[in-house]
Amino acid sequence: MRLGAGASIYRGSDDSCIPDLDPDCTYVPPPLVGDGHLRLDGEGGYAAADGPVVDTGDSFTVGVVVRLADSAPAHPMTVLSQAGEHTDAFKVRYEPSTYTWQLVMPERDEAGAPERVVSWVEAADGGEGQGHRLAVVYDDATDTIKLYVDGYTNAGATGTLPDGLHSTGALQIGRATAGDGWGEYLHGDVDEVQAYAGALRDEDVRGLGWGTNPCLC
């Protein structure tokens, strides 16, 4: 993926530094998953693929691990989005006014089109902990959209969408379309972006975000 200004790769310690044994050794917090993660400054940092990674007009699943840097974000922040011609076909964002993670999918590829929004209440991380494993599932066969947080969903995070929008835009990490430009920049850490054609089952979604592929048994 291409990194924009304000995006960097954080690498954890190689475990050779043990502060309890060496007072001169500075503790380095571990990455979210594996050896490192993406760090975004909230001002203009992002990462982008070369094009769309899922066909949003058909069933798809996308997962991500994210940790917000602020305990009280000042504005909505998008962690994942993929655009059509005029608007995002989907985006996953944190809405601080309602303390929720939201999945937003418009009904038409038009600026200002009605949107289907499902949400999950969750306090912002404030830069602490191991973040949250988020997943988006669109099932075209049942016209269902679901947002999962740490492997689970509920009635408030589930909705209907008759037809998903076809998108030609690249997958964006850390920003969403805003008018003729970009906005909703994420301030925080991102890891384990996983994308699949098809709607994963509940038990398979729980396998996302751990540094491996889900079973898909």
Which pair of structure tokens corresponds to residue 141?
Answer: 């066969």
Q: If you search the block for the tokens 């809405």, which residue do you land on?
A: 95
Q: How far apart are CA 6 and CA 40, in angstroms?
A: 6
For the chain, first and last CA: distance in Å?
29
Q: Which of 103-107, 108-112, 201-205 is predicted with the least confidence, judged by mean pLDDT?
A: 108-112
Angular region, 93: left φ>0, alpha ψ -120 to 50, beta rest: beta
Partner residues linked to 161 by β-bridges: none
**pLDDT at residue 33 greater than cutoff 80:** yes
Band (28; pLDDT cuts 50, 70, 90):
confident
Residue 111, number of CB atoms within 10 A of its CB: 12
The pLDDT assigned to 15 comes to 65
pLDDT at 25: 78
| pLDDT beyond 90 at 112 | no
Indicate the domain borders of the chain.
2-205
Residue 16: which pLDDT band, with cuts at 50, 70 and 90? low
Q: What is the pLDDT of residues 126-139, one digit of tens each?
A: 999 999 999 999 99
**Distance (Å, whole) CA 4 – CA 185:** 12
The per-residue pLDDT for 24 is: 78
Q: How far apart are CA 150 and CA 106, in angstroms?
A: 24
Any idea which fold 2-205 has? Answer: Jelly Rolls (2.60.120)
Read off the pLDDT of residues 162-206 as tens digits, 9 standing for 90 and up: 988 999 999 999 999 988 899 999 999 999 999 999 999 999 999
Q: Measured between alpha carbons, how far is residue 17 from residues 10, 23, 72, 129, 155 in Å? A: 17, 10, 33, 21, 46
Structure tokens given for 21: 């044994």
